[in-house]
A and B are shown apart, each in its own frame.
Chain A
Amino acid sequence: MHVLVGTVCSGKLFFVHNKGQVMRRRSLNMPGAIVRVCALLFLAASSAVAQPVSEPWDMAQVVKVWCSGDRDARIASFQSLLEDVVEADGPARQWAANLIVQYRDGNLSCAQDTGYIPAGDQFLDVVTGNLVEVIPDDAATPFLNIPLRRALSPFASAVQLVAAEAPENRLRAAQGLARTLGDVPPTLIERIYQQEQNNQVAAVLEGVLVPALLGSGDADAQLRAINTLAGNATRKSRATLDNFLAQEPAALSGPVRTAAESARSSVHWVIQVSEAMTVAYHGLSYGSVLFLAALGLAIIFGLMGVINLAQAEFVMLGSYATWFVQEALRALAPGLLEFYLFIAIPFAFLVPALVGAFMEWSIVRHLYTRPLLTLLATWAVSLLLINLVRVTVGTQNLSFLTPEYLKSGFTVFGEFSVTWSRLLSIFFAGITLIGTLFVLYRTRFGLRMRATTQHRQMAGCVGVSTRRTDAMAFAFGSGLAGIAGLALSTIYNVNPTMGTSLIIDSFIVVVLGGVGSVLGTALAALGIGQLNAIIEPLYGAVASKVIVLLAVILFIQQKPNGLFPRKGRR
């Protein structure tokens, strides 16, 4: 411990030595605070010189309250910690911010009379400041129930806001406060807001201050708040404005009321538009999922007339290939793990493509003239694949890492927000569509495939090897299903039977789009996706399935060959 103090806090020790005996005794009386700060600095590998801690905390007491105190005692403790942090400077602030964030995130383990927080590979005893390799067996994370976490979360954000220096951390803290201010005093936020240099953080803090400003009774403050609300068109803002306007007429001055009313109507309008956009986006994202699942089928079904019931299992194989790539990266190159989704693309394509090629060679090609038998045979293959995966990997849902860049999403405007994982699936659908069109219309393989689709005998007569074209098309279609599996792995859960729910929807899309037409498939998928997204919020998910199926039946009755019927003779 002394070595630690000596190396990290040499400045401090100098200070103690120079000032002589009295100071030394004082520092020995409360070594915990100093050592803690030093240890923290050591951990952060900070080169900053330790500064004296003006307000050392009685850590034993704090830990006792945080680990087993009742709700009110804990909230009082958070409150006093926040007050101390505002008064304190540099290292003490950092120390407190780290502690409360670790506590919020469930990393504080409580033991007899002390607590531990993780510090790199080791643990820091928060009372003595010692680093230990292992924590006692009876140390346990205290359970925080929902009301406690609700009370704690704003305090943790406020402490972070005071202590953090990096703008992104301050922004995250401000956003935390924007959810709810809880028991954090608005005056503190006002003070921080006045001094805030970063525009983004200041904008968020403005929103945090709204309720306080509206309640202040000062017309200028209220106008400022209304302005903020008008610029932030959410349902929450609308509700705040509604509540504000619902006050007694005498409580509001004329200009404030007019401003609030016009802000309310503009917010309302933006919300309406953004909600419509949300529905359209949901349709687009569901449509892209359908398209990805159906595209491979469209090619196989369209070209060879083979109804491949194992298609959905190729989707599953694609997901499993992605998972194996993830696990391989985790073991071999953890640095690249974040990008496993992109590294997995070739594997997710090739593995199902090879399995598909093998299946075509061993089973399907013998049955080209007997469609009913292909139906049975491919169904058998589908069962085989499901059970093969079940026996080798297991039935449980696979755990996929959600890379940092795919977590949550962003708000476009108003209530229209977009999640990255859905955006990725739309992106994959777009790329796959372009790639497939390129292969079909710009390569010799595509030319042969189109020729074979249009007229098999004639294509054979002019020298196209229809056998080889069939095999390659089957592999290509299987590989596309694999890409779908990759894109779905961040949205749905992955298990051996994941494909079974996709296969029927895929067939509907293919038939509706016109057998063998890529653009038709895309359009049909988008159409079904949109219809679903529009009906679901109105009549529920069950009704939307029924209505969509009825609509498809009616459409097929009118146009039996789908949206884009194939030209030419069969």
Chain B
Amino acid sequence: MRRRSFMKGVGVAGLAMSAPGIILPAWSREKVKVGCLFSSSGSMANIEGRLNYVVQMAAQELNRAGGVLGRQIEVVTTDPASDWPLYGQQGRQLLEDERVSAMFGCWTSASRKAVLPVVEENDGLLYYPLHFEGEEDSKNVVYMNSPPASSVLPALEYLMGDNGGRARRFFMLGSDYVWPRTINAQLKGYLQQKWGIEPDAWQEEYVPVGHSDFQSLVNQIKSFADESGEQPIVVLTVVGNSIPNFFQEYINQGISSLDVPVLGLDVVEADLEGLDTDQLVGHLNCWAYLQNAPGAANQRFLSAWANYVQENNVPFSPDVAIDPMVSAYTSMYMWAQAAEKAGSFDVPEVRNAFPGTSFDCPSGYKIKLTSENNYVHRGVFIGSVNRDKGFDIVWQSPETTIPEPFSPYI
């Protein structure tokens, strides 16, 4: 009797265990998997973490509207912990084990460079939502944001022009990895070739990623500013939590945007959350989206995000939206559109469907992909910090710009 009931139990258990194996494949044919590669821990967590949720929000919206090619989207999230090689490793898992049709991921260029060989080897798709240094055009990556020619250079030109205060001296401060170093190399080439500015007009400093103590560097900025009568600016390419730490020290040492304005290339609304922005008014940034972008598409996006945060108890602020969030959100729609157009989730076919896809982005521009390269055509915004922990739009391009992946200044 005992033995029989034991056997019965084993039988039931065995059946139960094999059942998912029988049921799941049939069920998962209904769902299409996509992957997220954004850190929820480490130095980048505060800003990158938001992107996981916004991708899920886009998937939820698409699913409610019937999915893509009649199939529901399932988002697989990971946590590469702000550790660059880990992005590559987890990207490989997503592609080889989870068999995702597309990945949305990476903030820093260092992490993208870690994923790049993996997506190329597996012929996967990575949607990359950040503006970056360019100098790359892989058929396996969709560059959702702008290369320097349509983000950094317009902002620098603005600061060097009459409306920006005619900056002629440049303190370049960045985190020590590929993005800041390449950006600064391009800037130096640009200043020399286009403006004939001599190398003694700039100073270049790098800090380790995650650096938090900026007192000595801010002091160096002060003495750099005093060296000459010409207008100095700081070109800031530090990333992650170094940004608010830098600004905190800038406030503490009493430097205002009237003395030395900061052009923060990676500074987003979310970085200002803990800071006293009364002291930061006038510092600038440049992106393809700012929260204050005019238009109904932006209002729709902002209220959708606020609702999503409330409904799902997301641990981020419901009323802060940043460019990479919008870019990641838009990525999902761009991918869904290409897949619908291709009638398939196979990467080569989706890729062939790219040219001509477009989307009414919350930034107010109709962004699009052409057959020329995998760079999305975006608009350009230059923002200036205001008292409400946001950015006023100082300037925006009349149309989307044609991306130039490779800089002539390097």
Contact = CB atoms under 8 A, between A and B. Distances in A.
Interface of A: 106, 143, 145-147, 149-150, 153, 179, 234-236, 239, 275, 278-279, 282, 285-286, 289, 386, 390-391, 393-402, 408-409, 415, 417, 419-422, 491-498, 500-501, 533, 536-537, 540-542, 545
Contacts of B408: none
B129 interface: no
Interface stretch (B19-27, B58-66, B251-259, B296-304): B251-259
14 contacts: A106-B387, A145-B384, A150-B165, A179-B259, A397-B46, A419-B253, A491-B248, A492-B248, A493-B241, A495-B45, A496-B45, A540-B207, A541-B206, A541-B217
B245 A493 contact: yes
Interface string B243-275: 011001101111001110100000000110111
Nearest to B166: A147
B39 to A, nearest CB: 10
B206 A143 contact: no
Which residue of B162, B248, B281 has the most chain A CB atoms within 10 A of its CB atom? B248
Contacts of B244: 397, 493
Contact of A409 (B210, B216, B241, B253): B253
Given A399-B274, A409-B254, A143 B384 contact: yes
Contact of A497 (B45, B223, B274): B45
Contacts, number: 152
A421 B43 contact: no
Contacts of A393: 315
A397 B261 contact: no
A435 to B, nearest CB: 25
Interface in B377-394: 384, 386-387, 392, 394
A408 B259 CA distance: 15
B216 A149 contact: no
B273 A286 contact: no
B273 A397 contact: yes
B356 interface: no
A57 to B, nearest CB: 26
Contact of B212 (A150, A395, A501): A501
B162 A147 contact: yes
Contacts of A278: 219
A146 B248 contact: no
Nearest to B274: A397
B315 A394 contact: yes
Smallest CB-CB A-B distances: 10 pairs: A397-B274, A235-B226, A541-B207, A408-B254, A146-B165, A493-B244, A419-B252, A394-B315, A536-B216, A399-B274
Contacts of B259: 179
A329 to B, nearest CB: 17
B254 A179 contact: no
A153 B245 CA distance: 27
Contacts of B43: 497, 500-501
B42 interface: yes
Given A147-B166, A285-B215, A497-B41, 18 more contacts: A106-B281, A143-B394, A146-B257, A147-B164, A149-B257, A179-B258, A239-B229, A282-B215, A289-B213, A394-B317, A399-B274, A493-B244, A493-B245, A493-B275, A495-B45, A497-B43, A500-B42, A542-B176
A422 B219 CA distance: 14
A342 B213 CA distance: 24
A395 B49 contact: yes
Nearest to B241: A493
B252 A537 contact: no
Nearest to A534: B216
B219 A491 contact: no
B295 interface: no
Contacts of B163: 145-147
Given A106-B281, A409-B252, A391 B315 contact: yes
A415 B221 CA distance: 13
Contacts of A390: 315
A537 B220 contact: yes
Nearest to B257: A146
A399 B275 contact: yes
Nearest to B215: A282
Given A146-B258, A239-B226, A282-B215, A540 B205 contact: yes
Given A398-B274, A421-B252, A147 B387 contact: no
Contacts of B253: 408-409, 417, 419
B42 A146 contact: no
Given A147-B165, A408-B252, A501-B43, A286 B213 contact: yes
A533 B216 contact: yes
B317 to A, nearest CB: 6
Which residue of A239, A400, A495, A497 has the most chain B CB atoms within 10 A of its CB atom? A497
Contacts of B252: 408-409, 419-422, 491
Contacts of A282: 215-216, 219
Contacts of A537: 216, 219-220
B314 to A, nearest CB: 9
Contacts of B315: 390-391, 393-395
B223 A415 contact: yes
A304 B208 CA distance: 33
Contacts of A150: 165, 258
Contacts of B139: none
B149 to A, nearest CB: 23
Nearest to A235: B226
A542 B208 contact: yes
A499 to B, nearest CB: 11
A533 B216 CA distance: 7
B354 to A, nearest CB: 34
Contacts of A179: 258-259
Contacts of A239: 226-229
Nearest to B216: A536
Contact of A402 (B41, B42, B210, B276): B276
Contact of B317 (A149, A235, A396): A396
Contacts of B206: 540-542
Contacts of A147: 162-166
Which residue of A285, A401, A408 has the most chain B CB atoms within 10 A of its CB atom? A408
Nearest to B313: A391
Contacts of B275: 397, 399, 493
A395 B274 contact: no
Contacts of A422: 215, 252
Given A146-B257, A542-B176, A536 B217 contact: yes
Contacts of A500: 42-43
